[in-house]
Amino acid sequence: MPRTDSMGVARSNSSRSSKTGGIPANCRAWNWKSRKPAREADNPMGSEATKIVDGRQHRTTRSRTAICEACLDLVEEGVLRPSADEIAERAGVSRRSIFNHFGDLAELYDAVVEVGLERCAPLLEEIPSDQPVSLRVDQVVRIRSRFLEAMAPFTRALTAQALVGPASDQARRASKEATRFQHANIERLFQKELARLDPIDRAETLEAISASMAPLLWETLRRNRGLSAARARAVMKRMLEAILRDALGDAWR
């Protein structure tokens, strides 16, 4: 008997991954370059057959990417939980084609998280940790606020999925990984200042700085409070300066 998946499409009981040789469990984009082509001695069709296989693999990868991009475009336009029909229409594929590439919404969401981060990654500039602290504060606020503004629709989608979505586990994991990354980056950036504090003050100051740059705080300032991006950025800077001043006194500058 066919089963019905979380998006309402009837599927056979056999696993898609067992048919295709394996959609990776974490649903990252397939790396076809790692697959070695058959040797001509083993393949009487030789390089011509290899070209055909490579072409099919390229089309598969292209279709998967188009589906992920379509889902992310819808999220950025405010559709926090796009349906299979909406994704298929935007990607220019059939509804069933989505499930030829992804077992369910959870697998799709894993891939979409990667695409979203790849889109915004260029906004994250490296800040030298040996600059004066006041300059580092200015730069981290500028870079972080720009990143949070670009990621705002994706942050809302993550929140919606984490609460009620079929990909809630993936959404929560993505949020935690992003928080850990931000936490580590802040610790590196203000390592010299944090090193002056005792362990308890250091831990609390680091948590406070991280919280002052959290996506949900930016969302509160921009949407709930209705501040402009410039005003929200000024609030973030004021919070960061206040945290450093409280921890280090006048020495923070």
Buried b (16+ CB within 10 A) or exposed e, 20-49: eeebeeebeebeeeeeeeeeeeeeeeeeee
Instruction: Pinpoint the alpha helices (H) of the chain.
Output: 16-20, 46-76, 84-91, 95-101, 105-120, 133-164, 168-189, 191-194, 199-212, 215-219, 229-248
Domain match, 239 and 131 both: yes
Measure the CA dihedral 235/240/244/250, to 10°.
Answer: -40
The answer to the question of residue 16 being in a domain is no
Task: Please tell me the distance from the alpha carbon of residue 124 to that of residue 154, in angstroms, as a whole number.
Answer: 16
Domain match, 167 and 204 both: yes
- End-of-domain residue from the set 83, 102, 118: 118
- Residue 137 is predicted with a pLDDT of 96
Q: Which of 158, 181, 159 is nearest to 112 (CA)?
A: 158
The answer to the question of residue 85 being in a domain is yes
The answer to the question of residue 95 being in a domain is yes
In this structure, what token pair is assigned to residue 185? 């980056």
Question: How many CA atoms are closer than 13 Å to the CA of 36, on its beta-carbon side?
Answer: 4
Give the residue numbers spanning the domain of 233: 126-252
Domain match, 132 and 243 both: yes
Domain match, 96 and 152 both: no
- Residue 164 is predicted with a pLDDT of 57
Give 169-182 as a 3 state SS string: HHHHHHHHHHHHHH
Print pLDDT tens along the chain (253 aa): 444 443 443 343 333 333 333 333 333 332 323 333 334 444 555 565 555 445 556 666 788 888 988 988 888 787 877 888 999 999 998 888 888 888 777 778 777 777 777 777 777 788 888 899 999 999 999 999 998 998 887 777 776 666 555 666 766 777 788 889 889 999 999 999 999 999 999 999 999 999 999 988 998 999 899 999 999 999 999 999 999 999 988 777 7
Tokens 């609030």, located at residue: 235
- Residue 89 is predicted with a pLDDT of 92
- Residue 54 is predicted with a pLDDT of 56
The answer to the question of residue 5 being in a domain is no
**Domains of the chain: total:** 2
Task: Please tell me the distance from the alpha carbon of residue 213 to that of residue 118, in angstroms, as a whole number.
Answer: 20
The answer to the question of residue 32 being in a domain is yes
- End-of-domain residue from the set 118, 136, 160: 118
Task: Please tell me the distance from the alpha carbon of residue 217 to that of residue 242, in angstroms, as a whole number.
Answer: 16
Domain match, 40 and 93 both: yes
Domain match, 55 and 152 both: no
The answer to the question of residue 14 being in a domain is no
Question: How many CA atoms are closer than 13 Å to the CA of 190, on its beta-carbon side?
Answer: 33
The answer to the question of residue 9 being in a domain is no
The answer to the question of residue 192 being in a domain is yes
- Residue 58 is predicted with a pLDDT of 62
Domain match, 72 and 163 both: no
Domain match, 152 and 192 both: yes
In this structure, what token pair is assigned to residue 167? 């990909």
- End-of-domain residue from the set 118, 144, 165: 118
Domain match, 48 and 131 both: no
Domain match, 152 and 53 both: no
End-to-end alpha-carbon separation of the chain, Å? 69
Domain match, 99 and 198 both: no
- Residue 197 is predicted with a pLDDT of 94
Domain match, 151 and 232 both: yes
Q: What is the pTM of this model?
A: 0.63
